[in-house]
A and B are shown apart, each in its own frame.
Chain A
Amino acid sequence: MNALTGNRVFRIHWVLGTDRLRAVCHCSAEREFEDPVELWEWLLDHPVGHAP
């Protein structure tokens, strides 16, 4: 479910049945994390490390 519709929205999904978080950048790069601090560091580093 997407509540926000802007062009630069970061989305973080708690992967069902796990303790993991899936970060989705507005550039559509995705990565899973166990630590929300590391997750935000990766998201905010866009575009570094966001290449497909």
Chain B
Amino acid sequence: MPGFPRDQWYVAAYGSEIGHDLFSRTVCGEPILFWRTRDGAVTAMADRCVHRRFPLSQPPSRLVDDQVVCGYHGFTYDAGGKCVAVPGQTRIPRTARLSPYPVVEQDSFVWVFIGDPANADATKIPRAPWLVAPDYTTVSGMEPLNARYELLVDNLLDLSHETYLHGGYIGTPEVASTPITTEVDEDAGIVYVSRHMDDAECPPFYSKSTGLQGRIARWQDIEYTPPCLYKLHSRIAPVGSVPNPDGSDPDAFHVEVVYAITPETETSTHDFWAVARDFALGDEEVSAFLAENNRTVVLQDVVALNVLEQVIANEPEGYQELSINIDTGGLAARRMLKRLCEKA
């Protein structure tokens, strides 16, 4: 699939990564410079000086108050990307401006819009409110992935791989052996995959964090809004327990596993992950356990997908994959991504 879906919002960073310092991250092949102004707003603009394209995040480029000074020849830009000083002359060329990116800080993420800024509609950014909700505790991280983002989408849309790649952490035999239901909303752009295990082994990830022993009801409901945001609504409860008709669910533990899948280049990806829970709030031991275990699981995926990227990069054209029932959601996601790429 050529290129990236454009005219889309992508997670570029956690808000906590960006302070009053120069910060650079490449999104969809575009190097972007970020910093937080003195009044607390996050700025986003091209990380290349318009003069001789020196990266403005590269020392000795520096931030002086709310202006960035290029470390090569001193071109100086304000927080909106406008050039306000050039060396040795008073006339500033009209075109001396860094392209600004629409940017929104929401749900702990910094989102940027890749495409025509005129098409940026912040109301279209999918939400993950648990990550900042007072009745949830969240751990999070980001791992660099040396593989195309489509491989991470495939991976996350089919959780039957948990049984094999993540055995002993989050995988148990029931994940791969329980049928799924897939729903696709063409207009809203959502792929939803449900796997409800009503009598399953409890993997260590959940037994140690919730204290539940023995068999459990384990529900996995994936909600993917291509291209970037993936949510796994995970429900862990004693066998036989179901939510009340009014939606309350007092016997269950809820974990919202959120991924932001952000392409860096054609063959590398920023793999943002967060785990928000509605139990053991503020318990640092549980937080440390979940952070360590989820990072381990993410790194198991990273190792596998890095290998897969090399396999794909070195194979002859026209390899024919085989898809089976477990791939129904992944196939839907691929098709939606293809359509978004073609639209751009």
User: Which residue numbers of A lie inside 8 Å of B, CB to CB?
Assistant: 1-4, 6-16, 19, 21, 26, 35-37, 39-40, 44
**Cβ A4 vs Cβ B185 within 8 A:** yes
**Cβ A9 vs Cβ B194 within 8 A:** no
B335 in contact (CB, < 8 A): yes
Nearest B residue to A13, CB-CB: B181
Nearest B residue to A7, CB-CB: B187
**Cβ B185 vs Cβ A36 within 8 A:** no
**Cβ A6 vs Cβ B185 within 8 A:** yes
CA distance A9 to B181 in the complex (A): 13
B248 in contact (CB, < 8 A): no
**Cβ A3 vs Cβ B192 within 8 A:** yes
Nearest Cβ on chain B to A8's Cβ, whole angstroms: 5
**Cβ B327 vs Cβ A36 within 8 A:** yes
Nearest Cβ on chain A to B244's Cβ, whole angstroms: 16
B179 in contact (CB, < 8 A): yes
A and B contact pairs by CB, cutoff 8 A, 16 listed: A1-B181, A4-B184, A4-B192, A6-B188, A9-B185, A9-B186, A10-B332, A11-B182, A12-B181, A12-B328, A13-B181, A14-B180, A19-B325, A36-B327, A37-B323, A44-B335
| Neighbour of A8 across the interface among B185, B194, B196, CB < 8 A | B185
For A40, the chain B residues whose CB sits under 8 A away are 331-332, 335
Nearest B residue to A43, CB-CB: B184
**Cβ B180 vs Cβ A2 within 8 A:** no
